[in-house]
């Protein structure tokens, strides 16, 4: 079945440095790749997403890159701040009219050290 592998499971960086989280997916038909941030006890919230017809997307300090051939996609956070500390989940799905099943990675616990 579909599978999404996410690495690393934990990541600790100094405030101001960059953080990179990587994911691989198995279903070559996947065409939508969102990243969700989940703070402790809170709901997952979308921070950025990318579709398979685009190789890179940026939103201020956050960027996502996609390599369809290798079935890899990555989240890049620059100039990290303490409020970036959270668990981050990548996901993949086939976005088809009327139906969507997100397959999530295992999550990365990001800690920003002041």
Partner 1 sequence: ETGVTQSPTHLIKTRGQQVTLRCSSQSGHNTVSWYQQALGQGPQFIFQYYREEENGRGNFPPRFSGLQFPNYSSELNVNALELDDSALYLCASSPGTSLNTGELFFGEGSRLTVL
DSSP string, 42-102: S--EEEEEEETT-SEEEETTEEEEEETTTTEEEEEE-S--GGG-EEEEEEEB--BTTB---
- The nearest distance, CB 12 to partner 1, in angstroms, is 17
Quick one: which segment of 14-22, 58-66, 70-78, 105-113 binds partner 1 (CB under 8 A)? 105-113
> Closest approach of Cβ 113 to partner 1, in Å?
21
Q: What are phi and psi of 68, to 5 degrees?
A: -65, -35
**Which CA distances in Å does 39 have to 11, 25, 44?**
15, 24, 7
Contacts of partner 1 in 21-50 (CB under 8 A): 32, 34, 42-46, 49
Least separation in angstroms between CB 9 and partner 1: 9
HSE-up (13 A, CA, CB side) for residue 17? 13
64 binds partner 1 (CB under 8 A): no
11: contact with partner 1 by CB under 8 A: no
Among 40, 53, 69, 99, indicate the residue that binds partner 1 (CB under 8 A). Answer: 99
Please list the residues that pair with 11 across neighbouring strands. Answer: 110
Query: Which stretches of the chain bind partner 1, using CB under 8 A?
Result: 1, 4, 6, 32, 34, 42-46, 49, 51, 89, 91, 93, 95, 97-107
């Amino acid at each position: 079945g579909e599978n999404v592998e996410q690495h690393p499971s934990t990541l600790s960086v100094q405030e101001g440095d960059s953080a990179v989280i990587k994911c691989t997916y198995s279903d070559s038909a996947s065409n939508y790749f969102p990243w969700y941030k989940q703070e402790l006890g809170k709901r997952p919230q979308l921070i950025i997403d990318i579709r398979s017809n685009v190789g890179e997307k940026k939103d201020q300090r956050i960027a996502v890159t996609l390599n369809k051939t290798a079935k890899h996609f990555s989240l890049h956070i620059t100039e990290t701040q303490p409020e970036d500390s959270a668990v981050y989940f990548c996901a993949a799905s086939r976005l088809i009219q009327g139906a969507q099943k997100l397959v999530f990675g295992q999550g990365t616990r990001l800690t920003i050290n002041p």
